């Protein structure tokens, strides 16, 4: 139905209700909610919307190595989502990402051994160890952070039951300044995607074009990231989010499936359908 015709029908029904003494219903009363929300540690102890269309919960507490202290409560909240939007799972998750390889003297979580698609990791700041770093971060996100909280919340702890987003932002620790640095960053994200994929999970990418270009840059066709769908930030308003849906995805072969905007100090998410 066109917006003009819909408005005319609502106006006529409102007049009829006034004439017969029946309260007029809102045009949206029978429409299921189509907005989702993403929450994490900043929303601890903050009232959240009842029964959203879908909920996206941050597994980490702002850094790739920290858990979200409110993960259990927020998983229970997202489990009440209606799932009313086709193509958007009711409960989704996102994880912080990073690559601190340029700070080896200050990092205690860097891998010292292990195999990767880039060869054997021996503790150096290279693509092999960057990939292992990402793999291990995703492993801990699932096994140490998400799964125990999911069991406490009564949520399916199997990562394959949910969609997972890799949150790529400049606020986290990355390597900068050269194509080689961006390649190492890409390898870390590939390692995370590989672990989640090995558990049967659907994986997507969250960022803005500007941040993605600075951290990762172009992704070749043979990368495990190629073809993943995008969740884009930076819409600002509902109209801005709809416009964001028409932007290019972060990587070739994927689609923009969701756009984020902020309203009433809460992250809203518009499905791009």
58-104 tens-digit pLDDT: 999 999 999 999 999 999 999 999 999 999 999 999 999 999 999 99
Instruction: Share the mean pLDDT of the chain.
Output: 89
Q: Which two tokens stand for residue 14?
A: 């409102």
| 46 vs 79: CA distance, rounded Å | 17
| 16 vs 184: CA distance, rounded Å | 66
Which of the residue ranges 1-15, 31-45, 102-116, 242-256 would you say has the lowest mean pLDDT? 1-15
Same domain, 58 and 11: no
pLDDT of 121 strictly over 70: yes
Query: How many domains is the chain partitioned into structurally?
Result: 2
Q: What does 98-144 look like in DSSP terms, one character per residue?
A: ---GGGGGG-SS---SEEETTEEE-SSSSHHHHHHHHHHHHHHIIII
More confident residue, 254 or 13: 254
Same domain, 180 and 65: yes
Same domain, 102 and 226: yes
Same domain, 158 and 203: yes
Position 33 scores a pLDDT of 64
pLDDT of 194 strictly over 80: yes
| 155 vs 254: CA distance, rounded Å | 29
Same domain, 207 and 137: yes
Same domain, 43 and 25: no
Same domain, 155 and 221: yes
DSSP E strands in the chain: the ranges are 36-39, 54-58, 91-96, 114-116, 119-121, 163-167, 202-207, 229-232, 256-263, 266-271
Same domain, 121 and 4: no
Question: Residue 9 belongs to what domain range?
Answer: 1-31
Same domain, 23 and 39: no
Same domain, 22 and 131: no
Same domain, 84 and 8: no
Same domain, 111 and 193: yes
């Amino acid at each position: 139905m066109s917006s003009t015709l819909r408005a005319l029908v609502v106006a006529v029904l409102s007049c009829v209700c006034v004439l017969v003494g029946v309260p007029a219903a809102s045009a949206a009363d029978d429409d299921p909610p189509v907005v989702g929300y993403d929450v994490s540690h900043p929303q601890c102890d903050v009232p959240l919307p009842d029964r959203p269309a879908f909920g996206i919960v941050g597994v980490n507490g702002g850094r790739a190595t920290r858990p979200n202290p409110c993960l259990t409560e927020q998983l229970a909240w997202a489990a009440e989502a209606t799932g009313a939007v086709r193509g958007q799972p009711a409960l989704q998750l996102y994880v912080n990402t990073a690559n601190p390889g340029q700070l080896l003297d200050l990092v205690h979580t860097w891998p010292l051994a292990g195999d990767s698609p880039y060869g054997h990791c021996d503790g150096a700041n290279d693509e092999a160890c960057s990939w292992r770093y990402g793999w291990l971060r995703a492993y801990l996100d699932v096994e140490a952070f998400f799964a125990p909280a999911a069991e406490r919340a009564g949520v399916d702890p199997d990562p394959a039951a949910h969609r997972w987003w890799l949150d790529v932002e400049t606020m986290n620790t990355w390597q900068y300044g050269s194509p080689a640095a961006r390649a190492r960053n890409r390898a870390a994200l590939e390692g995370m995607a590989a672990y989640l994929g090995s558990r049967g999970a659907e994986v997507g990418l969250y960022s803005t074009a500007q941040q993605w270009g600075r951290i990762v840059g172009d992704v070749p066709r043979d990368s495990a990231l190629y073809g993943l769908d995008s969740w884009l930030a930076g819409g600002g308003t509902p109209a801005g989010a709809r416009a964001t849906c028409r932007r290019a995805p972060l990587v070739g072969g994927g689609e923009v499936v969701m756009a984020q905007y902020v309203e009433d100090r809460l992250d809203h998410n518009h499905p791009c359908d």
